[in-house]
Structure 1
C-alpha cells in the first residue's frame, strides 16, 4: 500500500541513513493540536527541542490543551496557506472530524472537513515548499477485518464515511508523494487511550463530547457521572463473549510521530499500523477500571451493535521495522491509571 519512487525503492537502512532527515531542532505546524492526540504530540515535540505552531479551530479542541511554549493560531485547516511558509520543516496533521456515528448521519461534513481540508493543506504545503508530512489516519480504513492481526496489506473496505474519508486522504497523500516528492507517513491508529505526561507534570488526556470511547466512558461510571456501562453484545466468539480491541497508550502513539518525521522519505508514502498487538475485551477493561479506581462499575448487557467485529488487533511490524517503534507501555492497568489521573484533574478544573 506504500507509494514508492520508481527511481529507487528504499530499504530501512537507506531511509534511516541517507534521506533528508528533519533538523535536530525544527519548526513544525501541528494541525488539530488542541485535541487529544495532537496536544500530546505537540508537547512531545516541544520536549524534544522543536518549535511548534498549533493550528486549531477549537470546534472540538481546547485552548488550554495547547502546550506552553507552542504558538497558537485559531483557524481552520482549510485556510492553512495563511500561516504556512517555507520556514516550516514539516506538518503533523490531526485536524479532522472523527465521530463514526455522526459521519453516517452527516457524511457531507466528513468529506468537507477531512478530504477538503487536507486537499487545501497539501496545496498550501506544495506552494510553500514544505515537503514533510505525518498524517493521523485510522484503523477504520480497514472496515471488517479479513484476519487478525491486521496488516497494512489487508483490504481497505471502510464501513463508515469517517473511515472512507480517511482512506481517501491516504490516497491523496500517495499521489502527492509520487507526483511532487512529498515525504509522507500515514499512521493508522487502533484504540488510543491513557494520558501523556509532559516533563512539567502536565497531563494531556481525552475530552470528547459526545464521548464514544470505551475507557473514558467506563471511567465516568467509576466517577459517578454515569450509572452503568452498556456492554454491546456478550455472545461474541471471544473468551468472555465481549468484543476484543487493541489499546495503545497515547504516549507511545506520540513517540511514533516523532520517529515518523525521521523515517519520511522524499517521494514515498509509508503507511504504518500503530497498536499494542494485544487484545483486551470489554469486560477486561471494566475489570481493570474497577481495580485501578477502587470503585464499582455496574454493567448493563445489551444487543450487539451493527458492524462491530468480534476482534480488532493490529500488527505493528511495519512500524517496528521502518520506524524503529515499539510500544513501551503495553499494560492495560497503566493506560487506565493515566486516563484516570487525567479525568480526576479535569474534574477539579
Structure 2
C-alpha cells in the first residue's frame, strides 16, 4: 500500500542558497510546497521561484520558528542553512559552532515541540577528516580535522541521541531524520535558472569557472605532494541536481517508514585537482593558468563516497555522474552570470 501524503509543505532553511534553491526547484517538480526560511547571508532572492513563500530570518530564532510552524503546520524540514568554508572555520570556529551547531539544535528543538515528523539534515563528508580509507563508508571512524566538520558531526550525534532516547522512552519525539553527508557539490541546474552564485566561494569547480570567465586570474592548487596519482588532492564531485534529488528520495524513504539514518551522498568515484584542470582544458581548448602552493591545514588527502547504502535503501538514481558534464554546466552558468554582472 503506497503512503498517501496529507501534508506536502516543506520548510527549507537556506532555500535561497546554492544547494537550497536547487532543492526548492526539485520539491516543486515533485508536487511539494516549499517554504523558504533564509536570512540571505549568502542566498539570493532571485534564486527562489516566483510564488514560493519566503520568510526572512534565522533558523536559530525560536520565536520566529514557533510562528512558522504554527502557521504552516509543516511536517517536514530540510535543514540546508549553514556555513561551509572549512578554511574559514579554522580561523573563526565560533562562527561555525554558533551557526551550524547551536542554531541547528534550536531548530531541532522547535521541530520536536511542533510535532514535525521528518527532518533532512545537510551534513558533510568533512566529518571523515583525513581518512586512510580510499573509499569511506558511513560507519567508518571519523575524525574531522576542522571546526566545520566537527560542527556538523555534533548535529548528527544530537539527532542520533534523540532517536535513541525516543526508542527507549514512552514519550517519543516523533522526529525521524536522514542526514546526508554531501561530498563535493558542483554544477548548475539544467534549467539554466540557478547555479552557484555565492560570493567568495572557494570550491574547485566554481573557481575554475571564474578563471574561465576572467573573474579570477588563476587557479591556486594547494598541495602537489599528496600521496595520490599526480600529487594533488582527490574529491568525489556530485552534480547539485543529483544531490537535490537525493533529498526528495530521503523524504520518500522516511514516508515509507524507513528508519532514521545517515547516508553518504556522492558518486563513489574520485578526481584529482589536476584531473579537473585537464578536463577543463579538454572541453575548452584553453590552457588554465595555475599556481602551485603549499598544502592547507584543513584539507584531507582524498575523500570518496561509498554510496552502497543510499542506493540500496532509496530509489535514488543519478543522472549527471560525469565530470565533463558537471564542469560544462558550471562553465555555462558562469558565462551567463558574467554577462549580467
Q: Which residue is equivalent to 2:333? A: 342
Q: Which residue is equivalent to 1:140? A: 126
Q: Which residue is equivalent to 1:39? A: 21
Q: How far 1:44 moved relative to its partner?
A: 0.6
Q: Contact 1:34/1:63 (CA < 8 Å) preserved in 2?
A: yes
5+ residue gaps, structure 1, are 1-16
Q: Which residue is equivalent to 2:32? A: 50
Q: How far 1:268 moved relative to its partner?
A: 3.8
Q: How far 1:263 moved relative to its partner?
A: 1.1
Q: How far 1:174 moved relative to its partner?
A: 1.5
Q: Which residue is equivalent to 1:233? A: 223
Q: In the aligned structure 1, how far is the partner of 2:260 from the partner of 2:102?
A: 19
Q: Contact 2:117/2:176 (CA < 8 Å) preserved in 1?
A: yes
Q: In the aligned structure 2, how far is the partner of 1:151 from the partner of 1:60?
A: 31
Q: Contact 1:222/1:289 (CA < 8 Å) preserved in 2?
A: no
Q: Contact 2:223/2:292 (CA < 8 Å) preserved in 1?
A: yes
5+ residue gaps, structure 2, are 167-172
1:166 maps to 2:157: no
Q: Contact 1:230/1:301 (CA < 8 Å) preserved in 2?
A: yes
1:191 maps to 2:184: yes
Q: In the aligned structure 1, how far is the partner of 2:186 from the partner of 2:6?
A: 29
Q: Contact 2:250/2:314 (CA < 8 Å) preserved in 1?
A: yes
Secondary structure in 2 matching 1:83: helix
Q: Which residue is equivalent to 1:89? A: 75
1:329 maps to 2:320: yes
1:124 maps to 2:106: no
Q: Contact 1:77/1:120 (CA < 8 Å) preserved in 2?
A: yes
1:276 maps to 2:267: yes
Q: In the aligned structure 1, how far is the partner of 2:66 from the partner of 2:132?
A: 40
1:281-334 deviation line (CA, Å, top 9, x unaligned): 111101222233343311212222234333211101111011132332111000
TM-score, structure 2 as length reference: 0.91
Q: Residue 241 of structure 2 is aligned with which of 251, 255, 263?
A: 251
In terms of mean alpha carbon deviation, does 29-38 or 125-134 score higher?
125-134
Q: How far 1:24 moved relative to its partner?
A: 7.6
Secondary structure in 1 matching 2:94: helix
Q: In the aligned structure 2, how far is the partner of 1:109 from the partner of 1:232?
A: 24
Secondary structure in 1 matching 2:142: coil
1:65 maps to 2:47: yes
- Count of aligned pairs between the two proteins: 328
Q: In the aligned structure 2, how far is the partner of 1:25 from the partner of 1:295?
A: 51
Q: How far 1:209 moved relative to its partner?
A: 2.6
